[in-house]
């Protein structure tokens, strides 16, 4: 155990910052950049493939970033706890911006995928460290307000990413979706360096390298299995079975290693805490619901309702407003009352009802009905996101804030990755079967569909395709609603530790 515990209380609580406002603003920009890069590439992918080739490796442009950012998140949390978040943030941002430069300069698909992985290695740290820093500079009872703002940033990025990506491709070139990170990242980094002072203490450290390796293998195999299984390889193929075996063995090894490690990356003892274990489960569910539900709405709008890419992006705005409104109100509620338990209960109730309403998707569905469902889902997420981070940071010792925050984000990322992959596989298989049954000439695969193709088809065929797409999506939202209901049951089991008005 580091000897910081022997320091006087005042020294351990000495502020590491000179300007809270500057730190929060800088962290918000860094968080925005990291979250945007998960979604901004989506609308640019067809153009990137047309420019660089390598259609068979297309999914790796997205998977490389998500995989890299997911596996390093717990390690960044621990490094921030051990070596101070200021130094680790500087390293993380520098890595992220270096990856952005290389992505923008890419002249082949292989180079772009490698650069995206490097970018993800930095981006994964931005998520963890951004939220951990708030645990350093803001008392627990006041964190709800800031976490609410950050939840809003996360929600805005989920919608703004595809819109910005499309705009850059049309107005400039796809390279600029990466180059735009440089000025904003440099400005935010400068603000952070000036606003966040290094902690004066120096301690002896011992990095849990064996635990880091086991966790990396576990998360890598799981993300690869869910992202590429059934597409690049069959789940029952040697590669699929090998990844399953690797996941099981690495997970068991990780638990065994963490039980004996002197400074574990993810202390197993944290899972004995009700707040941490329940909040982690809710983080997994919320990530699965948000990305799992959001991914297929543009597909429905473009393919079943005939909307353009820009129009489909704009119709996601009600969800963003829902996240912003609910996260702001939730943050204010936590700050005024010091309580939070009721918020995920309300949020998951909203999410369940909204997802149930999305099981009625059809080409004839009124726009206002869809907007209402998306706004409700956004409000549900806005009630959840600030709570899962704030409640955990309030419950764990200060020296474990980074580790605990990283775990929550890791579970959210893994939930999102698994949901998108599994829901995508379900949707694609049902589309193939339903389109085959409908005998739509020349269209047997969902990847053959596109706005240009649809526009050239007769109205009756477009209607048939719209009904087919809607029907293929119904099970996705039924499963998502069931998952939200499970999350609601978990939320009812969460204990409440009143938020402190200052650091303990």
Segment 364-415, tens digit of pLDDT: 888 888 889 999 998 998 888 778 877 887 787 776 776 777 777 778 877 8
pLDDT of residue 483: 92
Query: Measured between alpha carbons, how far is residue 14 from residues 128, 199, 277 in Å?
Result: 22, 8, 30
Supply the pTM of this predicted model: 0.71
Please state the φ and ψ torsions of residue 196, each to the nearest 5 degrees: -120, 105
Tokens at residue 471, please? Answer: 């029907």
Is 90 exceeded by the pLDDT of residue 153?
Answer: no
Is 80 exceeded by the pLDDT of residue 479?
Answer: yes
Is 80 exceeded by the pLDDT of residue 223?
Answer: no
- Domains of the chain, CATH where assigned: 15-205 (1.20.1250.20), 208-262 (no CATH), 269-499 (1.20.1250.20)
- Which of the pair, 232 or 326, is modelled with greater confidence? 326
pLDDT of residue 207: 65
d(CA 487, CA 483): 6
E strand spans, 101-220? none
Closest to 219 (Cα-Cα) out of 67, 48, 97, 380: 67
Is 50 exceeded by the pLDDT of residue 14?
Answer: no
d(CA 18, CA 124): 26
Query: Measured between alpha carbons, how far is residue 156 from residues 33, 132, 171, 195, 313 in Å?
Result: 11, 21, 21, 25, 12
Q: How confident is the model at residue 3 (pLDDT cuts 50, 70, 90)?
A: very low
pLDDT of residue 23: 73
* Residue given tokens 């309300």 in the structure block: 346
Considering Cα of 314, then 319, then 320, then 321, what sign does the dihedral take?
positive
d(CA 407, CA 276): 9
Q: How confident is the model at residue 447 (pLDDT cuts 50, 70, 90)?
A: very low
Report the percentage of the chain scoring pLDDT > 70. 73
Least confident of 3-12, 157-166, 329-338, 419-428: 3-12
Closest to 357 (Cα-Cα) out of 474, 203, 246: 474
Report the percentage of the chain scoring pLDDT > 90. 7
Is 50 exceeded by the pLDDT of residue 7?
Answer: no
d(CA 360, CA 440): 23
pLDDT tens across 315-367, in order?
A: 778 887 888 888 888 888 887 888 888 899 999 999 999 999 998 888 888 88
pLDDT of residue 6: 37
Is 50 exceeded by the pLDDT of residue 277?
Answer: yes
């Amino acid at each position: 155990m580091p000897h910081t515990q022997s320091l006087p209380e005042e020294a351990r609580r000495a502020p590491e910052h000179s300007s809270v406002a500057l730190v929060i603003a800088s962290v918000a920009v860094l968080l925005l950049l990291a979250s945007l890069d998960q979604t901004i590439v989506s609308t640019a992918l067809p153009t990137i493939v047309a420019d660089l080739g390598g259609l068979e490796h297309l999914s790796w442009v997205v998977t490389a970033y998500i995989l890299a950012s997911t596996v390093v998140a717990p390690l960044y949390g621990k490094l921030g706890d051990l070596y101070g978040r200021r130094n680790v943030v500087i390293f993380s941002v520098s890595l992220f911006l270096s990856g952005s430069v290389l992505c923008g300069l890419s002249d082949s698909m292989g180079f772009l995928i490698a650069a995206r992985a490097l970018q993800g290695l930095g981006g994964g740290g931005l998520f963890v460290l951004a939220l951990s820093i708030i645990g350093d500079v803001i008392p627990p009872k006041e964190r709800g307000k800031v976490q609410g703002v950050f939840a809003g940033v996360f929600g805005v990025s989920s919608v703004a990413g595809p819109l910005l990506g499309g705009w850059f491709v049309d107005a400039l070139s796809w390279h600029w979706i990466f180059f735009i990170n440089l000025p904003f990242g440099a400005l935010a980094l400068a603000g952070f360096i000036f606003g966040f002072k290094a902690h004066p203490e120096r301690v002896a450290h011992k990095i849990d390298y064996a635990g880091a390796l086991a966790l990396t293998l576990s998360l890598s195999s799981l993300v690869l299995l869910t992202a590429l299984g059934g597409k690049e390889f069959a789940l029952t193929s040697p590669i699929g079975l090998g990844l399953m075996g690797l996941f099981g063995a690495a997970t068991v090894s990780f638990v065994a290693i963490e039980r004996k490690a002197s400074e574990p990356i993810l202390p197993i003892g944290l899972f004995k805490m009700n707040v941490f274990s329940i909040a982690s489960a809710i983080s997994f569910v919320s990530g699965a619901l948000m990305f799992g539900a959001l991914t297929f709405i543009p597909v429905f709008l473009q393919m079943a309702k005939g909307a353009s890419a820009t129009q489909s992006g704009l119709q996601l705005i009600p969800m963003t407003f829902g996240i912003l409104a609910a996260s702001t109100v939730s943050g204010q509620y936590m700050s005024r009352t010091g309580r939070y338990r009721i918020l995920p209960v309300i949020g998951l109730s909203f999410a369940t009802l909204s997802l149930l309403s999305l099981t009625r998707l059809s080409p004839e569905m009124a726009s206002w009905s869809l907007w209402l469902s998306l706004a409700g889902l956004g409000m549900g997420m806005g009630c959840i996101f600030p709570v899962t981070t704030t409640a955990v940071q309030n419950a764990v010792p200060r020296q474990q804030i980074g580790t605990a925050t990283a775990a929550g984000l890791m579970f959210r990322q893994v939930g999102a990755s698994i949901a998108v992959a599994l829901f995508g596989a379900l949707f694609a298989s049902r589309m193939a079967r339903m389109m085959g049954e409908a005998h739509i000439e020349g269209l047997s695969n969902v990847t053959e569909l596109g706005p240009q193709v649809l526009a050239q088809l007769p109205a009756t065929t477009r209607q048939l395709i719209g009904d087919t797409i809607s029907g293929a999506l119904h099970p996705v939202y039924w499963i998502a609603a069931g998952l939200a209901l499970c999350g609601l049951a978990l939320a009812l089991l969460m204990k409440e530790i009143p938020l402190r008005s200052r650091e303990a």
